[in-house]
Chains A and B, each alone.
Chain A
Amino acid sequence: MKNQTSAGKKVLGFLGSNSVPIMFIIIVAICIPLSGFSPVFLINEIITRMGRNIFLILSLLIPIMAGMGLNFGMTLGAMAGEIALIFVSDWQIWGIPGVVLACIMSIPISVLLGWMCGKILNASKGREMVTSYIISYFTNGLYQLLVLYIMGAIIPIIHNSIKLPRGYGVRQTVGLLTMRQSLDNALAIRVAGVKIPVLTFLIIALMCLLIVWFRRTKLGQDMRAVGQDMEVARDAGINVERTRIISIIISTVLAGFGMIIYLQNMGDMATYSAHSQIGMFCIAALLVGGASVDRASIGNVFLGVVLFHLMFILAPKAGGVITGDEMIGEYFRVFVSYGVITVALVMYETKKRRAKAGMAAQLEAAQREEEQQ
């Protein structure tokens, strides 16, 4: 009887802590037959989207490890990647060398932006997520100033296909056809009609291994300690501020690489808007995968990308079948996807307050005991 009760508690605990992915799995299971898409089509789409998005989402793991929550400031890295791609495109560096050069060029920009973001986040401890969200807007302004007025006027842009007709500023769309899917097509194989971008997946696998290795290094352990309790970490001799800045810099650099991988897959770049929603999409995908503000794993990233992007593919079609209007399915997807972010944030705050209340109650009880003695 006791065993049954504990097993029941375990199942309930599992369902409670994985409610979001379970809910999405149920929705996806209902939508797949309704949509009428063939399995080959769905697998092809999901594999393409995994190759395109996973690296970006992996960049969110390290700040979570350092207790800085969901890094909405990853947009800064995305902007760094875009700036590098504009230059590489203008210099006519094509294919994989173009992608590699863009990654290298994005590093100093990402480091600078990440350092700035980390400094600001250190000044607003406990409010990192909202602060990083606003920093991304502030930096978006700087990005637009650079791209719209400085490029072409002060920083030379040679090609008219990139420059605005007025002589300075960058066009709304920069074509990346010369490096389109260069990573995805290299070493690509086809299995039963499904294209597998082997090189992209190898890069992702390497990144996952690096994250696993990083967690075991001294810096990784410091980040985990800072994430658990900043005061205890400080007492243990860890430079908390420096560790937090490094975590944001690493996240920003990885986001820059991720954005370059994402855009080479797309084949063109919306100069003024490509980065704007990327943080939101990545965070939503991570949360859909079962992560929370203070806990995320590589498994959450993979599950999140599959479920979140299956919703992208299925929702309009399934909505069309159920209601006769594909837009209703799309509205449903937007509602559910972003609702997940809201629920995750509310749950995190509730958990934090409960933990605080629990600690206060314990302290009160201890004080009472002391008084009685």
Chain B
Amino acid sequence: MNKRRLLFCLITVLVLVAIGACMMVIGRGHTIYFDNKSLEYEGQKYEAIRRINVNVNGEQVAKLSKKERGMATTMGQGFKFDIEVIREKDAEPERYSFDIRIPYGIDGIVVNLPGMIAELPQAAWMEEFIPAPTVEEEEDETPAEGDVMDDFGVGGDL
């Protein structure tokens, strides 16, 4: 292989690796869960709010009463959202905008909205979402012999 061709190959590989790395950053998906639940931090209690509407890109993704949870999905490490807080019936809504950074390695985060509105530190209102473990039977998901070997859908040996 001559030098020019080798250089061309190397540059191609580097460009592809760079594009791949960019895709890994901008395409990393996260699920954000919004909680409207009471929160205790350093001995002080932050009560759940009567009604919180969550908007992402101008579209309402959750309408939360007390003790409710909503969710939205996003790609990348930054997530912007707006909320409308209604503390009392027929009261004028208070509007807030937030821009949070999501750690790359975490699939889902839970955001406590009353804690966020109270401007507590991030550690108080953000935590990782860990799905509840589900018990599954082992054999159910293992492909049967026919599924693996038989491409013609007739079953048995071919």
Contacts and interface: CB of A to CB of B under 8 A. Distances in A.
What 4 A-B pairs have minimum CB-CB distances, sorted nearest first? A97-B27, A94-B29, A97-B23, A276-B151
A92 B141 contact: no
B27 A101 contact: yes
A148 B138 CA distance: 14
B20 interface: yes
Interface residues of B, number: 25
Contact of A148 (B107, B143, B151): B143
Given A144-B148, A178-B29, A165 B24 contact: no
Nearest to A101: B23
B24 A93 contact: yes
Contacts of A272: 143, 147-148
A273 B151 CA distance: 7
Contacts of A166: 138, 142
A94 B107 CA distance: 12
A130 to B, nearest CB: 16
Contact of B27 (A94, A105, A107, A144): A94
A120 interface: no
B117 interface: no
Interface of A: 91-98, 100-101, 104-105, 107, 140, 144, 148, 159-160, 164-166, 169, 171-172, 178, 271-273, 276-277
Given A93-B23, A172-B143, 8 more contacts: A94-B29, A97-B24, A144-B148, A169-B142, A178-B73, A271-B143, A272-B143, A277-B151
Contacts of B143: 148, 172, 271-272
Nearest to A272: B143
Contacts of B138: 164-166
A144 to B, nearest CB: 6
Contacts of A165: 136-138, 140-141
Contacts of A94: 27-29, 73, 75
Contacts of A160: 134
A100 B141 contact: no
Contacts of A171: 141
A311 B147 CA distance: 26
Interface string B23-42: 11011111000000000000
Nearest to B131: A160
Contact of A100 (B19, B28, B148, B151): B19
A104 B29 contact: no
A263 B10 CA distance: 30
A97 B147 contact: no
Interface string B1-37: 0000000000000001001101110111110000000
B27 A95 contact: yes
29 contacts: A93-B24, A93-B29, A95-B27, A95-B75, A96-B27, A97-B22, A97-B24, A97-B27, A98-B23, A100-B20, A101-B20, A101-B24, A104-B16, A104-B19, A104-B20, A107-B16, A164-B141, A164-B142, A165-B136, A165-B138, A165-B140, A165-B141, A166-B138, A172-B143, A178-B29, A271-B143, A272-B147, A272-B148, A273-B151
A310 B56 CA distance: 41
B24 A91 contact: yes
B26 A97 contact: yes
A160 B107 CA distance: 13
Given A93-B28, A272-B148, A100 B23 contact: yes
Contacts of A164: 138, 141-142
